[in-house]
Amino acid sequence: MLTAISMLYPFFAMINLSFVPNGEIFNQGEKLFYSPLTFDNYISVFEKIPMWKYFINSLFVATLTTLGQVIIAAMAGYAFARLKFKYRDTFFLIFLITMLVPPQVNIIPLFFLMRQLHWINTYQALIIPGLFGGFGVFMMRQYFLGLPKDLEESAKIDGCNILTTFFKIALPLALPAIATLAIFTFVSSWNSFMWPLIVTNSESMRTLPVGLAIFKGSFREITLWGDLLACSVICTIPVVGVFLLGRKYFINDILQGGVKE
């Protein structure tokens, strides 16, 4: 209980202080509830920067990246777990090796590829590189390996082909793993800073982390902490919402680790 309180208090303080006027933030002292409260910080943020555009860009990119990676990882993971084909283990080993490569190593080759495809400052550059990841394939493969084969064999006897078995049998059973992967992917895409900073060069294509960093860098003589806290709260809302939507499956996946034969 004490650990939970110690972790939640900074988050609660961030929300509370985001409603305190800039000039009063450092005059509050040690309090549980700060006052006076106002919406001026949020109004100021939306007046100074195109916050809605940044928010929509981040939400659009994170949502499509999550959907794409979950679909690709689930299909690839199922193929590596259940299908038998030549060099299957070798291909899977290559996927595992990609997890050892730091993401920063791929930035320069990816940037040149995006430039050759004329995708700089487009949604394609923000979304497509994030659709593929070794971690998602590995996670889904391990989960599918833990599912009982009896149901799939029964479906095969009933005349179901591999796609029908995957979509109607395996995929519904893998909801905990899918929800867990979706949460991880969404949070990673939503918080991504370096790649969107490199491949976007116009205000209309900036995501929320990039816009927030540029907004912070625009301060000259004084830092508007209230505005920054308001931006931080706005950045946090979708992440918390996604976790709350998938928490049941996420917790079940952590506790159970899949269904074993």
List domains and CATH numbers for the chain. Answer: 39-256 (1.10.3720.10)
| pTM of the predicted protein model | 0.86
Q: Band of the pLDDT at 247, cuts 50, 70, 90?
A: confident
User: Is residue 71 left, alpha or beta, with left meaning phi > 0 and alpha meaning psi from -120 to 50?
Assistant: alpha
Q: Band of the pLDDT at 246, cuts 50, 70, 90?
A: confident
Please write the tens of the pLDDT for every residue from 114-150.
Answer: 999 999 999 999 999 999 888 999 999 999 998 888 8
The most confident of 32-46, 188-202, 246-260, by mean pLDDT: 188-202
Please write the tens of the pLDDT for every residue from 193-242.
Answer: 999 999 998 888 999 999 888 887 776 667 788 888 898 899 898 988 88
Tokens of 129: 């590189």
Provide the pLDDT for residue 260. Answer: 45
Average pLDDT along the chain:
85
Q: Band of the pLDDT at 14, cuts 50, 70, 90?
A: confident
Q: Is the pLDDT of residue 30 over 70?
A: no
Residue type, 255: L
85-95: b (≥16 Cβ within 10 Å) or e: eeeeeeebeeb
Q: Is the pLDDT of residue 61 over 90?
A: yes
Please write the tens of the pLDDT for every residue from 99-111.
Answer: 888 888 889 999 9
Provide the pLDDT for residue 227. Answer: 86
Provide the pLDDT for residue 250. Answer: 64
- What CA–CA distances, in Å, run from 257 to 67, 164, 181? 22, 25, 13
Tokens of 140: 């889904």
